[in-house]
A and B are shown apart, each in its own frame.
Chain A
Amino acid sequence: MPLSNQQKTEDVAAGIRKRVFLHTMRNNGGYLSQACSAAESLAFLYNEALKLGEPTLPKVPLPFAGVPSSDNPDAFTGAGYHGSFAPDYDRLIISPAHYALVIYSALIQMGRMDEHALDHFNVDGGSVEMIGAEHSPGMEVTTGSLAQGLSMASGLAWARKKKGEAGKVWVYMSDGEFQEGQTWECLAAMSHHQIDNIRVVVDVNRQQCDGAMSSVLDLGDLAARVSAFGVTCRSIDGHDLDAFRKAAGSAEPGKPLIILANTSPYQGMEFLKRRFPRLHYVRFKSAEERQEMQTAIAAELGVDEAEIARA
């Protein structure tokens, strides 16, 4: 499969949704809503924005090689699916590790992982973990405890700038992470140190584990709050690829760029609206409920239900 710019970005987004849907149905549950909100963001990043080299890890994911330590030379991170760390290449730090299934699907859709790589998902002894670990495909750091990815990426970006590397540091994160104080600490630091080689895409789906953010802990006018920290903040329709292109090209010298991608947690799968506001992880209470959702979403995505039966 092609690595970049060989598919239309719209098709990459559709492929991501379809892969996550198929996997969720085959496994009786999954992070379906994250695919709805993230598909265009990730399709834009992987297919257009990121400058990445060829993968350095095998297309079929490796087994877990043990935790990092000074006496484990075999430990690896999933960054290999984003290519080498050459100075001109970009890096992508994925902060919400709960989006792992969506990330894996994007890597497969881009031809960076094997077509059947999701067969390894959540399998004991494997590296394709349910909540992405740093050895999981596409992951480079440990971010399942939310809001640390942005700070690590900022350190990385500061260091790359100091070394004169041309590559950018991209961050994909979620709006829920703006409930953590660390995110605001980091915005202040990024602004103070003028870290302008960092590009942050935030999935503003206004959803979290407990439900709608407005009912859990509302963030109000997030764009105004973020802008107030002195960074460049663009608030866009997160399903509009042209808006992404325009925002990504609008970085200002001396300032980090934060793109708030306002998204719908059921974009492309309107049937999920019935589940609102409990969308964080979709599971089924009965066979009937499962069948009803399968038929409805398959129709929306143009998927043949027979495809779901594949082992």
Chain B
Amino acid sequence: MVEIVNRPYAKAFETFATARPEVLCLSADLTSSCEVDGFRDRHPDQFLSLGMAEQNMLSFAGGLAMQGFRPFLHTFSVFLYRRPYDQLINSIAYSNRKVRLMGFLPGITTPGGITHQAIEDISVMRAIPNMTILECGDATEVETVLEVADSIDGPVYARVLRGEVPRLFSTPFEFNRLRTLSEGDDVLVVTSGVCTEEALRAAEPLKARGIGIHHLHASTLKPFDRDGLIRAARGKKGVVTLENHTINGGLGSLVAEILAEEGLGVKLRRLGLQDTFAHGASKPYLMKKYRLDASALIFAIGDLLGKVIDIADGELDAVRLDTVHSAQKAEAL
């Protein structure tokens, strides 16, 4: 079975920040929800509580960065860009300040409904000059995203996973490099965030039916590993993107832009929220309802190949974590 890591961010942040006195931990009343409550209690000199006041927090962070501190802002993804968007632009992004926005509960990973589900964050952030966008897909990436974020000369937005997180990868987060999880010949599948684990569930059943999947995991969304995508897309019968986000402006859109600019003429299916808001419910329920799951991926692949691929849900459930683990081993080689 694949390893499940409990609260990987909590430990990683403490190790990371305590070694770097110029790193500050900022929080907006969601300190334990973002797994930095232990850090707050043990390292109060490096912690700043700014309350439910995100507009002030973002501008305040800009001021901290002006003095050489590197603030890491902790709150839910939605609260980092919706309410304080003007502050994000004028107090942080324009001036290219080294402020790190650590966004928790991205997309439909929260049952909190529309108010808590950041479903267009990547789209919004992609439109901002100077912004770097990272997204964690497993525990290893959660543990190693901090060094990557901190190496960037400018603002960074990172989608972080909390709680029990599976370990899919054995190598650390590598900036602006697509991870190759399998190298089949028929269809290119590009996934990000929690959708990568979901897509891996489909790997073995598809292989058993003779369908070759080239699977790439994207953890840097801006900039983007353009060459890696083009190499993998060339000669394929189709491309499918799967993301925990609206299909407008995120992974699906950026892949479409590159395919079109490169003139590859390959068909593309974008899976994700189909230009709709979601609502409050469990992650598995929402992934199934909004077609972000393995069976949606299999359907899209079949559509591209012009065939019906019959794989029952039971088969997908059964292969879940073992498949994930073996796929990662292949990559590690």
Contact = CB atoms under 8 A, between A and B. Distances in A.
Interface of A: 67-70, 134, 140-145, 148, 151-160, 162-163, 181-182, 185-186, 188-189, 192-193
A159 B259 CA distance: 46
Contact of B91 (A151, A160, A185): A151
B67 A159 contact: yes
A277 B129 CA distance: 39
A148 B87 contact: yes
B60 A151 contact: yes
A70 B66 contact: no
A64 B148 CA distance: 32
B55 interface: yes
A153 B66 CA distance: 10
A189 B87 contact: no
Nearest to B49: A192
A157 B63 CA distance: 8
B90 interface: yes
Contacts of A155: 59-67
Nearest to A153: B63
A152 B67 CA distance: 11
Given A156-B64, A157-B63, A189 B53 contact: yes
A311 B39 CA distance: 63
A187 B89 CA distance: 22
Contacts of A143: 90
Contacts of B56: 151, 154, 182, 185-186, 188-189
B25 to A, nearest CB: 13
A141 B67 CA distance: 13
A70 B95 CA distance: 10
Contacts of A145: 86, 89-90
B53 A158 contact: no
Nearest to B86: A145
B51 interface: yes
Given A134-B94, A151-B91, A141 B154 contact: no
Given A160-B67, A181-B55, A152 B94 contact: no
B90 A154 contact: no
B50 A189 contact: yes
Contact of A70 (B61, B89, B94, B130): B130
Contact of A156 (B63, B86, B95, B152): B63
A134 B56 CA distance: 19
B68 to A, nearest CB: 8
A182 B129 contact: no
Contacts of A158: 48, 60, 63-64
Contact of B95 (A134, A160, A188, A192): A134
Given A141-B95, A148-B87, A151-B60, A156 B130 contact: no
A109 B61 CA distance: 34
Contact of A67 (B62, B63, B90, B129): B129
Contacts of B68: 159
B123 interface: no
B94 A185 contact: no
A156 B51 contact: no
